[in-house]
Amino acid sequence: MKRRAGLALLACVVALAASLAGTSARAVEPNEVLKNPALERRARAISKRLRCLVCQNQSIDDSNAGLARDLRVLVRERLTAGDSNEAVIRFVVARYGDFVLLRPPVKPVTYVLWFGPILILLFGGAGALVFLRRRQAAGAIAAANPLSAEEHERLEALLADKGSGS
């Protein structure tokens, strides 16, 4: 019985993984695709560099959100008008800010984004090191100052009382 349940669970996990695997980069709708293959390749390359402002963890090329679709159409309109790839990206950044870029530039405004995780790791590591050294020092102090005979007898009495009182 357990084996059958395990196999059913495994089948569900495999089916879910298979269904999710094919959906990642198919958000571009057929009516958005440009007839010129070279322009379409450029549009896809640009779309992979721009963040979906709704999903925030996907490119507009991967996202099914309405705003991502609007941005894909905007990119294609700008390319059709003759803009270069960088001009299209500058146009979108001028409207939405650096946040729309999946890889924002390193500048004072984005220092926290780029260097924040490193600082958090460094401060966390330093905090852990201080904690472990204090713990080690407390253990050394306790080992250097063992209980006196009187303290040991009192501890035994307290433990005996607690054991019989439960």
Structural domain for 115, as ranges: 111-165
Mean pLDDT score, 50-66: 89
Residue type, 123: F
Asked, for residue 11, whether it belongs to a domain, the answer is no
pLDDT of residue 26: 58
Assess whether 78 and 26 both reside in one domain.
yes
pLDDT of residue 120: 97
Helices 66-80 and 37-47: crossing angle, nearest 10°? 130
- Whose structure tokens read 């204090």? 134
Mean predicted lDDT score pLDDT of the chain: 84
List the structure tokens of 143: 């080992």
Q: What is the CATH number of the domain that holds 96?
A: 1.10.8.640
Contact 53, 99 (CB under 8 A): yes
**Which CA distances in Å does 120 have to 10, 54, 64?**
38, 27, 33
Against a cut of 0.75, is the pTM above it? no
Assess whether 84 and 120 both reside in one domain.
no
Name residues whose C-beta falls within 8 Å of residue 55's C-beta, 6 or more positions apart in sequence: 63, 65, 68
Quote the DSSP letter at residue 146.
P
Question: Of the given ranges (51-60, 123-132, 133-142, 150-159), which has the lowest mean pLDDT?
Answer: 133-142
Assess whether 27 and 101 both reside in one domain.
yes
pLDDT of residue 25: 47
Quote the DSSP letter at residue 51.
B
In the chain, what is the straight-line distance between the N-terminal and C-terminal CA atoms, in Å? 42
Contact 27, 43 (CB under 8 A): no
Assess whether 47 and 124 both reside in one domain.
no
Residue 13 three-state SS? helix
Asked, for residue 13, whether it belongs to a domain, the answer is no
> Would you report the helix, strand and coil content of the chain in percent, each value rounded to 5?
70, 0, 25
